[in-house]
Amino acid sequence: MNTNSALIVPAQAPAATNAAPLTFHEGLKPLIAIPNVLLWIIWITAILLLGLVAWLLWRRWRKKAAAIAAIPPIPAHVRARQALEAALALLGDPKAFSIAVSGAAREYLEKRFDFHAPERTTEEFLHELQGTNLLTAEQKLSLGEFLENCDLIKFAKYEPTEIELRALHSAALKLVNETEPRWAPPEIQSSAHAAASTSP
């Protein structure tokens, strides 16, 4: 007798275990590191010191910049007189003296009248000079003779006397005195006239 009977296997109960069930805590926050108080104090002190040093350097730079800005530039005629005065120490060397005197005159004219004197030859400079009315005809003639005499000493190896050298110096100084700006402060003008009167 065939009877089909299903084999029923009863479900087995879960095996007993001693492990604790897994639980998840969604609200768990990460651990907060407790700062080292001493380290924070060192960092803050270092930052404050760097800020103090930077402030002191800035303050020193500002004072120096203000002092430089407060000093007015030396006028061209004053610089020329100083250069001509220094040239007198070179009377024993005619070539060096003529270079110093003519250089002082050329630099003065460049600054005073915006000429390109130092970069040009005497001929080029005199040619440019003829086209301007910034100097009188007498001053142009005197300047031309002055520069030509300086060139004779510098390039032609002419040996001048001390009297001739002092005459060159006087011609350059006269040009500066006659063409200096008239708005110069009184103390500068008085010193200029005093220097001119004591010059041989």
What letter represents residue 99's amino acid? I
Residue 68 φ then ψ, to 5°: -65, -40
Which has more confidence, 62 or 190? Answer: 62
Predicted model pTM: 0.55
Condensed to tens digits (0 to 9), the pLDDT of residues 189-198 reads 455 445 444 4
Rounded average pLDDT over 109-133: 76
CA nearest 166: which of 110, 52, 87, 79? 87
**Is residue 34's pLDDT more than 60?**
no
Condensed to tens digits (0 to 9), the pLDDT of residues 71-107 reads 668 888 899 999 999 999 999 999 999 999 999 998 8
In angstroms, the CA 77 to CA 80 distance is: 5
pLDDT over 70 for what percent of the chain? Answer: 68
Confidence (pLDDT) at 36 = 75
Annotate 21-50 with DSSP letters as a single string.
PP---TTPPPPPPPP-HHHHHHHHHHHHHH
Average pLDDT, the chain: 77
Domain boundaries, the chain: 37-71, 76-198
Quick one: tokens of 37?
Answer: 């108080």
